[in-house]
Structure 1
């Protein structure tokens, strides 16, 4: 269910009258503290190791996770966000899903939220995620977050696109892979593990983290990191011959340096003074 926050706007006038968010918790959406911790860990690790690549999010809702991801962008890199926003869905099934879950979603609301934290918007592709490979270069992304359709055929295609777009050591994150109302996401996710060589790094209550590249170093380093935290239980699990970390983060504490609004619209990196 959505976290408590400002109401979703249903008209341009209502959007203009809404107060701008001053912290990430003010942005409506589903991005739990445990996953904020993991996003921070994976993205910060990529920066510290100087791993090249852009960022990509498929499915943005009102921008909560996109705002977070935008703070890990280095000069010269591109952050692409793909979402239908107000556009018609490509098929009847997807239209029903959009009307049921995201009827009030607007691109203007996303942009207003994002601009409250960052000076510049990401590259926005307002179109079905099925066409993302026409907008993003192959092997150009180090981190891909998939949170678009919950329908099997669309998620299956999004995973295939992520495989094509990720750098050799890039990380893909899949949302709602175990939710009872999203069996298509679960089928597509574990199907990819079973048939495409996708290696599971870890899972939380809502998200799956994996890679098609070498993963032993990342998994071991993540295990060491989690062992030092008293707020996130973790255990070992083997899936399709690959050791995986299972995480329970019900008591997880958000990253020590959360997203805050900049009066000058600077990004998270500038705000925290820890990333260039």
Structure 2
């Protein structure tokens, strides 16, 4: 569950930014993006739906020189239709563009390219076939998610990765229907599933799946299984006490103050004086006891018995 963020609060670490971006998905985002860099795949980054910027901050960290990073969100503005308006008012009434920008600029020097509009306009703002990674986390309504997935397909490179959030949450059935419709009818190939997100491609998922399986099986904080469904190979990953991957702290980070040294409990009054008296009296007492013992040994006749 996301934590609330006080107004004008600057996050010190990524975990200080509210949002439903769990450690396993932070790990998977990092793994896919670093793999693309290692393979020399260049392309732009796109996020549809940003909330307060938690996943956008991580994505922006992987933008390389010459690449664009675009974020599209309503940021609390009036939604284009009544259904979307009701969802926005219920779930994101406190969302503001200022909060997103404040959080993002705590970690980065410049903002991404922001499209302050419904996600239906994104194909007018981003060129087709230019993106290597698209995160879809905007509306949960079927009609809108279906359009967002179609936009992702148009904008992605052949080897690009799309991530669909909330594809199996109980309160987002519209996302589930749109996601599996894309898999069954529109060529989307699942790469892996986390507890909240579906990672897929319209390219060949085989090579990336094998590399991902090898990487996850080496970890002790993640369980992995492979299943088949409708002739699709599904890699399922589940965190087991996983911590978020390392991420640079923000410019506002302040190290926690050191814990105060424990204060020893107060001694009862008179304790020190009683200890000094005991030390002073101990030698004379021991000396007298030794003398009595020796005197008894000298005057005692060996083998003598008391008369009956």
Same fold, TM-score > 0.5, yes or no: yes
Aligned to 1:129: 119
C-alpha displacement of 1:165? 0.2
What SS class does the counterpart of residue 66 from structure 1 fall into? Answer: helix
Aligned partners of 1:162, 1:126: CA distance in 2, in Å? Answer: 18
Aligned to 2:146: 156
Aligned to 2:130: 140
Aligned to 1:6: 5
C-alpha displacement of 1:262? 3.4
C-alpha displacement of 1:5? 5.0
- 1:187 maps to 2:177: yes
Higher relative contact order (CA 8 A, sep 6+): 1
Aligned to 2:234: 244
The count of residues paired between Structure 1 and Structure 2 equals 253
Aligned partners of 2:11, 2:233: CA distance in 1, in Å? Answer: 40
Detail structure 1 runs of 4+ shifted over 4 Å in the superposition: none
TM-score, normalised relative to structure 1: 0.89
- 1:68 maps to 2:68: no
C-alpha displacement of 1:234? 0.7
Aligned partners of 2:179, 2:142: CA distance in 1, in Å? Answer: 9
Aligned to 2:205: 215
Aligned partners of 2:208, 2:85: CA distance in 1, in Å? Answer: 38
TM-score, normalised relative to structure 2: 0.80
Aligned partners of 2:177, 2:240: CA distance in 1, in Å? Answer: 25
Aligned to 1:262: 251
Aligned to 1:21: 11
**Could you tell me whether the CA contact under 8 Å between 1:84 and 1:126 is conserved in 2?**
yes
Long gaps (5+) in structure 2: 254-308
C-alpha displacement of 1:35? 0.3
Query: Cα deviations across residues 53-106 of structure 1 (Å, max 9, x unaligned)?
Result: 000000000000000110000001000000000321000000000000000110
Aligned partners of 2:76, 2:164: CA distance in 1, in Å? Answer: 23
